[in-house]
Amino acid sequence: MDANRVIVFDTTLRDGEQSPGASMSVEDKIAIACQLERLNVDVIEAGFPISSDAQFEGVRLVAQKVRTPTVCGLARCVDQDIDKAAAALEKAAKPRIHTFIATSKIHMDKKFRKSEDEILEMAIKGVRRAKSYCDDIEFSPEDSARTGKEFLYRIVEAAIDAGATTINIPDTVGYANPEEFGQLINDIYARVPNMHNAILSVHCHNDLGLAVANTLAAVRNGAQQVEVTINGIGERAGNCSLEEVVMALKTRQAYYGKYTEIKTEEIVKTSRLVSTVTGMIVQPNKAIVGVNAFAHEAGIHQDAMLKDRTTYEIMTPESVGWGDTKIVMGRHSGRHGLKSRLEDLGYNLSKDELDKVYERFLNVADKKKEVFDADLEALVGDEVQDFEEAYRLDYFHILSGDKVLPTATIALRHKNEIIQEASVGDGPVDAAFKAIDKIIDEPVKLIDYTLQALTSGKEAMGEVHVTITNNGRKFVGRGASTDVIEASIRAYLHAHNKLRHAQPKSV
Ligand SMILES: [Zn+2]
């Protein structure tokens, strides 16, 4: 492999899914995996097969679907874990088993009550067993950044001897500093005699906001693989963000002298998909993918930008897929115009799907005159589901004001039948949700509700995410509209439909 190429290992579906509140259905995982393939990541870590049936199924289906990237499954250095990971990866074009074991003193003493020699033995056995299933084996000494260095060198050398082809050095608890972490990578190369026979990878957490800085410091010191997630989601404060590391390497290529194979124009789309699926909104000032990342507010800046964009722009919004926001669609664009714009955005819809999106598009175009790409993507997200929706909105009517009891009437289409209910509530959204609850009659608890504007201006589309729970399972729904109550109703219905879809079919 070209020594200057950095391998991008995406763990959005494994570590990212461990974000508090970010559970993904198997369908969600496949949709994200397909987008990660378009983004051209090198490795997709699809899950932790032993941890649950759903995790196993997620890895199995992603392995079956994705062809270009390597698909990886996580396993402890325990026989059952490794066997399960191998079974989930059976259909993968390029399988990788990733085994790990804790090596820091605090973890060995408290988690395992085992000595260094016993841990070393388990690591060797684990790597050998994984190797009996496939060639591509990654080994991680968990909590490396707090592991005694002499032991770290020993276990890394032994894992490579046992057959590991990638050694991953995780800063599991986000404790490292950039200089120190860079030095650690440098020391590993200096002290592990067979290190050059394997790829050295890093996996940084963001507890001190240093995940990207630590990862880049490691790359400067020779790390060849970076473990990242979209939008930096993950355990606690999250992981190193893919978009930030990739764009840092690209924008400062002369400094780092490294490159990735990422199709950077797919970044924003991937970010939006992950945000939509998980219901975790991207903060507006987030680097690269926040809505303000390329917004220039100060007059002096705007003036200079008009003369030459590079005065205040170190990369173009187009290079990460913000698209040409000047392309605006309206009622006059017609069905054909809509179809071709959607194709430009990467959506190839069936006739049925296009019909549904077109109907909503006309509705929005009537209210809002100018329809932007972000609006179109939201409509596609609303109308194109990868499963049959049990309930569809037929109409709603809201009565609200400061001197009346907020009242909602909702009609839903279910099995060719229209069912109508009305309810009062604390506010119009609450009233609408209660009316829906009366129709669907499935006990759920609303645990999260967020609203954000998709585009600017007073006619902007609003996007609502709701999270509901039912028997301990979480479902995230989203909806978009120029009317925030309609967006809320659609989001709530979407979550209910997902719940319904997840239930046994006889119900
Ligand atoms: Zn992690």
Domains of the chain: 7-278 (3.20.20.70), 392-502 (3.30.160.270)
Distance 139 CA to ligand 1 centre (A): 13
| pLDDT number for residue 506 | 44
Distance 200 CA to ligand 1 centre (A): 16
Distance 174 CA to ligand 1 centre (A): 9
Distance 256 CA to ligand 1 centre (A): 25
Distance 103 CA to ligand 1 centre (A): 15
Distance 341 CA to ligand 1 centre (A): 38
As a whole number, mean pLDDT of residues 249-266 equals: 97
Distance 1 CA to ligand 1 centre (A): 26
Percent of residues, the chain, with pLDDT higher than 70: 98
Distance 15 CA to ligand 1 centre (A): 5
Looking at the DSSP assignment, which residues form a beta bridge with residue 468?
446, 475
How high is the mean pLDDT of the chain? Answer: 91
Distance 491 CA to ligand 1 centre (A): 30
Distance 107 CA to ligand 1 centre (A): 15
As a whole number, mean pLDDT of residues 62-83 equals: 97
Owner of token pair 């009437």: 409
Owner of token pair 């067993």: 129
Distance 37 CA to ligand 1 centre (A): 21
**Whether residue 301 has pLDDT greater than 80:** no
| pLDDT number for residue 325 | 52
Specify the higher pLDDT residue, 40 or 473. 40
Distance 388 CA to ligand 1 centre (A): 35
Q: Which long-range contacts (CB under 8 A, 24 or more apart) does 315-321 make?
A: 315/247, 315/250, 315/251, 317/293, 318/265, 319/250, 319/264, 319/265, 320/243, 320/247, 320/264, 320/265, 320/267, 320/268, 320/288, 320/289, 321/264, 321/265, 321/266, 321/267, 321/268, 321/269
Specify the higher pLDDT residue, 323 or 70. 70
Distance 467 CA to ligand 1 centre (A): 24
**Whether residue 470 has pLDDT greater than 60:** yes
pTM: 0.84
As a whole number, mean pLDDT of residues 309-315 equals: 84
Distance 123 CA to ligand 1 centre (A): 19
- The one-letter code for the residue type at 488 is S
Distance 235 CA to ligand 1 centre (A): 7
Joined together, the tokens standing for residue 75 give 């396993």
| pLDDT number for residue 254 | 96
Distance 47 CA to ligand 1 centre (A): 12
**Whether residue 14 has pLDDT greater than 90:** yes
Distance 128 CA to ligand 1 centre (A): 23
Distance 479 CA to ligand 1 centre (A): 31
DSSP string, 55-91: HHHHHHHHHHH--SSEEEEEEESSHHHHHHHHHHTTT
Joined together, the tokens standing for residue 107 give 């973890």
**Whether residue 59 has pLDDT greater than 50:** yes
CA distances from 412 to 270, 408, 416, 464, 488 (A): 32, 13, 10, 19, 15
**Whether residue 106 has pLDDT greater than 50:** yes
Distance 372 CA to ligand 1 centre (A): 36
Distance 8 CA to ligand 1 centre (A): 15
Distance 116 CA to ligand 1 centre (A): 22
Question: Over the range 109-120, which residues count as b (16 or more CB within 10 Å of their CB) and which as e?
Answer: eeeeebeeeebb
Lowest-pLDDT range of 65-79, 398-412, 469-483, 487-501: 469-483
| pLDDT number for residue 233 | 96
**Whether residue 329 has pLDDT greater than 60:** yes
Distance 135 CA to ligand 1 centre (A): 23
For ion ligand 1, residues whose CB falls within 5 Å = 15
Distance 480 CA to ligand 1 centre (A): 33
Distance 214 CA to ligand 1 centre (A): 14
Closest to 247 measured CA to CA, from 222, 216, 207: 216
Specify the higher pLDDT residue, 327 or 113. 113
Distance 393 CA to ligand 1 centre (A): 40
Distance 460 CA to ligand 1 centre (A): 37
Distance 205 CA to ligand 1 centre (A): 6
Ramachandran angles phi, psi of 505, nearest 5° = -65, -20
Distance 191 CA to ligand 1 centre (A): 25
Q: How confident is the model at residue 324 (pLDDT cuts 50, 70, 90)?
A: low
As a whole number, mean pLDDT of residues 202-226 equals: 98
Lay out the sheet containing 462-470: strands in order across.
445-453, 462-470, 473-481
Joined together, the tokens standing for residue 294 give 């390329």
Distance 132 CA to ligand 1 centre (A): 26
| pLDDT number for residue 311 | 80
| pLDDT number for residue 97 | 98
**Whether residue 327 has pLDDT greater than 80:** no
| pLDDT number for residue 507 | 39
